[in-house]
Amino acid sequence: MGRERVLTAEEEAVNELLMSAKAAEMAYGFETLDFPPSLNFMTVRHKIEASQVFKIIKQMPKGAVLHQHDTSMTSTKWVVEELTYWPDLYMCYSKEDFLLTMFFEHPDQSCSWRLVREVRASYPSAKEFDAFLYGHLSLFTDDPEAKYPNNDILWNYFVDSLTLMNDLVTYRPAWESFLYQGLKEFCNDNVLYLELRVRLPPLYELNGTHLTVEETMAVNNNTVHRFLNDHAHLYYGTRFIYSPSRKVDNATVEEYFQLMKELRALFPDLIAGFDIVGQESKGEPLKNLLEPLLKISAAGIPVFYHAGETAWMGLDPDENVIDALLLNTSRLGHGYAIVKHPVAKAFAKKKNIPLEVCPISNQVLQLVSDLRNHPAASLVAEGFPLVVSTDSAGMLGAQGLSYDFYEAFMALGGAKADLRFLKQLAINSIRYSSLDKAKKTKLMRQWTGKWKEFVASMLEQHN
């Protein structure tokens, strides 16, 4: 990928610095077998952060993130240290039922609600209580093999964490702070643009009122514009892909369709399109929801379907890849299984339909243990269109995009992938965004300026 790109003399000099650092890390990994992409990200994050290659990638403008879910976008550390210290936050915890819920209101009398500040004060230390909350709000752990012995157990933890985070951040002021902070974290990681998958649960106020979905989207719109006003020289923008649950029937998807039409009419610049999400093996396959999904495609609503996020072959989750392509998906979310379907793969390549590859998510969620064996490695070698993205950065402990770029550069691209590879990934992320031609041109111009600044800064640092 990117091999045909011609680098300037200045870029060649930066490439020498980058490849010198990469060669040293590759050689060390080859001799010792201590190679971060071959090991679970949660056990080697500290090693990645110490990498010279990673430090260079951190400074690089990475274009766009095209696959990131809303309630897992912001670092869990920030959520614990900021939101859980707000007043009026209640929690209910039952060790017997392994139930933890948190709301900025006293929802009902179904269990013994306590103010979080009082629970924290009852612990030997605030640090100990915060670690308890972090363990429930994040998948991150020092020993993933022991905590997550199989995929079903891991997904149960994942769903529980997402549910708890959703309960915590759907208080309207908390969501505004959460979304703003998430955008800030990606912006600080030199990401210029974000397409965010959102389920749009109605937000609520402390007086017990709940916002409509339209009002909730208006809050998103206001927060995005506030962030843009504060970071106009650093950030280009954000769009939303409405992505409700796939564990539903046809009538519910019909309701999704009607809501999509309303939201696109109210927020034409903000709503990028439609997707349905969740663990594919537990939700309905696309073929079972065909009638309303065909209406969505026929209405000209862009779709960005999660499909083939599975290691199984020949079952419904695997064949979602084929159905997503037949439903005119603009991109394939994950698309992990596409290499097992040569006709579908050839069709996607011919139609220039990219995969949204999320290396760390695929590894942590147990699709592949060694990222050198990720299907995308062969797709990179044959020039298949793809973008590298994050999926659930905050919840996986991979704040921003740099960690996934590092894994892709070191594992998916192999030893010979160089600055051309990274540059092509950034360009792809803009090229395959949902923006129209004029806006892509504007974003590309902004990214090009940042890229030139990055090259100049790297040369200055090493002269």
Chain segment 104-141, per-residue pLDDT in tens: 876 666 677 888 999 999 999 999 999 999 999 999 99
pLDDT for 271-314, tens place per residue?
Answer: 999 999 999 988 899 999 999 999 999 999 999 999 999 999 99
Token duo for residue 410: 């070191």
The span from the CA of 458 to the CA of 205, in Å, is: 47
**Which residues have a catalytic role annotated?**
309, 334
Beta carbons within 10 angstroms of residue 300's beta carbon: 8
Say if residues 173 and 145 touch (Cβ distance below 8 Å).
no
| Surface-to-core class of residue 312, CB atoms within 10 Å of its CB (0-12 exposed, 13-18 middle, 19+ buried) | middle
Interior CA angle at 44 toward 386 and 379, to 5°? Answer: 20
Q: How confident is the model at residue 96 (pLDDT cuts 50, 70, 90)?
A: low
HSE value, Cβ hemisphere, 13 Å, CA-based, for 35? 24
CATH placement of domain 57-75+182-449: 3.20.20.140
Say if residues 192 and 63 touch (Cβ distance below 8 Å).
yes
Residue 3 pLDDT > 90: no
The span from the CA of 199 to the CA of 166, in Å, is: 10
pTM of the model: 0.96
Q: How confident is the model at residue 103 (pLDDT cuts 50, 70, 90)?
A: confident
Backbone angles phi, psi at 234, to 5 degrees: -110, -20
Beta carbons within 10 angstroms of residue 49's beta carbon: 13
* From 176-180, 200-204, 416-420, the region with the lowest mean pLDDT: 200-204
Q: Where are the beta strands (DSSP E) in 321-361?
A: 332-334, 355-357
Name residue, tokens 């990131």.
68
Residue 164, C-beta contacts closer than 8 angstroms, at least 6 positions apart: 100, 101, 102, 136, 137
pLDDT at position 263 is 96
Q: What are the extents of the domains in the chain?
A: 57-75+182-449, 78-158
Name residue, tokens 């908390």.
174
Residue 16 pLDDT > 60: yes
- Residue 220 pairs with which residues in a beta bridge? none
Beta carbons within 10 angstroms of residue 242's beta carbon: 22
Q: Going by DSSP bridges, is the β-strand pair 271-274/306-307 parallel, antiparallel, or unpaired?
A: unpaired
Q: How confident is the model at residue 463 (pLDDT cuts 50, 70, 90)?
A: confident
pLDDT at position 104 is 83
pLDDT at position 127 is 97
Q: How confident is the model at residue 93 (pLDDT cuts 50, 70, 90)?
A: confident
- Identity of the amino acid at 79: V
pLDDT for 322-370, tens place per residue?
Answer: 999 999 999 999 999 999 999 999 999 999 999 999 999 999 999 999 9
